[in-house]
């Protein structure tokens, strides 16, 4: 089947032909999404045999690139012992220990299967712990697709211009005064500590500290959604990098090593409100899935300080993109903001370089992006502007 035929078939069977709206290419003026066939390192190959240098890397999980041999071995080995048990396992305890070791504010963690699930439950827990219903969040932030988070959200909601219902008092990112006006009586402030779903926007100096202070003064919990930033901007995420500790942390992407796994955690006191220790209900048939915990463990155990030094060095090389537009980067996440992003996207794709098909998303640097890949990307962008 050609890509066109495949897409036509997909359109007749799957709404919009894709299982997540961000995969559609309409926003960048292209008809068909990429139908991936395989990946290796920094490269993705589609069903037509076209090869792309991949800056999306499944939207962030693949810090060691596609089909990383150690991750694949760990998953295959786990699969031979059984793909799901629906019981407790040793690997999930080990993965919890890795997370608790890495993430400064997390003493206890629960594993779930998607960032959406983790964020949704973190909100439920914050509401139960404070006995309050309202919460504060930020315009252009994204915390998965649970109802309370959808209005004025980032990522695909913003790319498609969808106006959805939602809850929460929505204020501008980096606007502490607005938070101060909105926070009274709120259960929590829900924030991406480095915004990554309206393109990368770093926190202004003092913003995260200010959120911490306002939460402490008002009795609201501070929730960091570190689905993107966790294990990416530092091993311990943005809370390590900026030295501001939230009450609850939401994790996804890298923590699952490229398999469906996410997590949320916090102090033992808060987390023990969850059933069966406490009265806040949350559950999952595939939670702590053995393939996913094997992948997560394989990745997390290799995230040494050297990995972050390497990513930072690569990031500095990539900073040369700043000559072409506003370039925002925090560690291994970055966005180049340009006026005609769709045209740049198509220019690069024609040259075999795949950026996210929306400026609302980040470029994800990984250990598999070498100098050659970085320089080729810079040259191709320079060519677009020449």
Give the range of 37-45, 224-232, 333-341, 368-376 binding ligand PMP by CB under 6 A. Answer: 224-232
Which residue number places its CB atom closest to ligand PMP? 115
Nearer to ligand PMP, 255 or 374 (CB): 255
Q: Within positions 179 to 198, which residues make up the interface with ligand PMP, using CB under 6 A?
A: 192, 196-197
Q: How far apart are CA 356 and CA 197, in angstroms?
A: 11
Q: Is 148 a residue that touches ligand PMP (CB under 6 A)?
A: no
Q: Within positions 60 to 79, which residues make up the interface with ligand PMP, using CB under 6 A?
A: none
Contact with ligand PMP (CB under 6 A) among 115, 140, 168, 203: 115
Active site residue: 7, 52, 142, 308, which one?
Answer: 142
Nearer to ligand PMP, 143 or 241 (CB): 143
Nearer to ligand PMP, 218 or 361 (CB): 361
Q: Smallest gap, in angstroms, from Cβ of residue 217 to ligand PMP? A: 26
Q: Is 228 a residue that touches ligand PMP (CB under 6 A)?
A: yes
Active site residue: 54, 68, 247, 253, which one?
Answer: 253
To the query of whether residue 26 is one of the catalytic residues in this protein, the response is no
Nearer to ligand PMP, 230 or 381 (CB): 230
Phi, psi of 70 (to 5 degrees): -65, -40
**Other beta carbons within 10 Å of 58:** 14
Give the range of 86-94, 108-116, 337-345, 365-373 binding ligand PMP by CB under 6 A. Answer: 108-116
Nearer to ligand PMP, 51 or 139 (CB): 139
Contact with ligand PMP (CB under 6 A) among 7, 142, 190, 327: 142
Q: Is 138 a residue that touches ligand PMP (CB under 6 A)?
A: no
Nearer to ligand PMP, 21 or 196 (CB): 196
Q: How far apart are CA 74 and CA 156, in angstroms?
A: 32
Give the range of 11-19, 139-147, 207-215, 301-309 binding ligand PMP by CB under 6 A. Answer: 139-147
To the query of whether residue 253 is one of the catalytic residues in this protein, the response is yes
Q: Smallest gap, in angstroms, from Cβ of residue 81 to ligand PMP? A: 25
Q: Is 91 a residue that touches ligand PMP (CB under 6 A)?
A: no
Nearer to ligand PMP, 223 or 381 (CB): 223
3-state secondary structure labels for all residues of the chain? CCHHHHHHHHHHHCHHHCCCHHHCCHHHCCCCCCCEEEEEECEEEECCCCEEEECCHHHCCCCCCECCHHHHHHHHHHHHCCCCCCCCCHHHHHHHHHHHHHCCCCCEEEEECCHHHHHHHHHHHHHHHHCCCCEEEECCCCCCCCHHHCCCCCHHHHHCCCCCCCCCEEECCCCHHHHHHHCCCCCEEEECCCECCCCCECCCCCHHHHHHHHHHHHCCEEEEECCCCECCCECCHHHHHHCCCCCEEEECHHHHCCCCCEEEEECHHHHCCECCCCCECCCCCCCCCHHHHHHHHHHHCCCCHHHHHHHHHHHHHHHHHHHHCEEEEECCEEEEECCCHHHHHHHHHHCCEECCCCCCCCEECCCCCCHHHHHHHHHHHHHHHC
Q: Is 227 a residue that touches ligand PMP (CB under 6 A)?
A: yes
Would you name the residues annotated as active-site residues?
142, 225, 253
Interaction site with ligand PMP (CB under 6 A): 59, 114-116, 119, 142-144, 155, 192, 196-197, 225, 227-228, 252, 262
């Amino acid at each position: 089947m050609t890509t066109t035929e495949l897409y036509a078939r997909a359109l007749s069977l799957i709404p919009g032909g894709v299982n997540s709206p961000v995969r559609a290419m309409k926003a960048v003026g292209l008809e068909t999404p990429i139908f991936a066939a395989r990946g290796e390192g920094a490269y993705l190959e589609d069903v037509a045999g076209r090869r792309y240098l991949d800056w999306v890397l499944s939207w962030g999980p693949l810090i060691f690139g596609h089909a990383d041999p150690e991750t694949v071995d760990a998953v295959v080995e786990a699969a031979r012992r059984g793909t799901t048990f629906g019981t407790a396992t040793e690997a999930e305890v080990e993965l919890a220990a890795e997370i608790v070791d890495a993430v400064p504010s997390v003493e206890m963690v629960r594993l779930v299967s998607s960032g959406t699930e983790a964020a949704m439950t973190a909100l439920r827990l914050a509401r139960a712990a404070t006995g309050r219903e309202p919460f504060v969040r930020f315009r252009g932030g994204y915390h998965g697709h649970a109802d309370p988070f959808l209005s004025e959200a980032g990522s695909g909601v913003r790319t498609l211009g969808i106006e959805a219902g939602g809850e929460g008092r929505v204020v501008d990112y980096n606007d502490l005064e607005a938070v101060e006006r909105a926070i009274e009586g709120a259960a929590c402030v829900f924030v991406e500590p480095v915004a990554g779903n309206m393109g990368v926007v770093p926190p202004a100096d003092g913003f995260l500290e200010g959120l911490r202070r306002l939460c402490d003064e008002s009795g609201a919990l501070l929730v960091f959604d570190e689905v993107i930033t966790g294990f990416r901007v530092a091993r311990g995420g943005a809370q390590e990098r900026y030295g501001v500790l939230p009450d609850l942390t939401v994790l996804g992407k890298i923590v699952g090593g490229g398999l469906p796994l996410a997590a949320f955690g916090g102090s033992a006191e808060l987390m023990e409100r969850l059933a069966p220790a406490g009265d806040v209900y949350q559950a999952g048939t595939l939670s702590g899935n053995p393939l996913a915990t094997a992948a997560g463990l394989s990745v997390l155990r290799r995230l040494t300080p050297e990995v972050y030094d390497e990513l930072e060095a690569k990031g500095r090389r990539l900073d040369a993109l700043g000559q072409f537009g506003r370039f925002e980067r925090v560690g291994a996440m970055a966005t180049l903001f340009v006026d005609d992003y769709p045209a740049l996207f198509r220019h690069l794709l024609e040259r075999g370089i795949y950026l996210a098909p929306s400026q609302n998303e980040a470029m994800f640097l990984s250990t598999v992006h070498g100098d050659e890949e970085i320089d080729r990307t810079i040259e191709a962008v320079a060519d677009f502007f020449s």
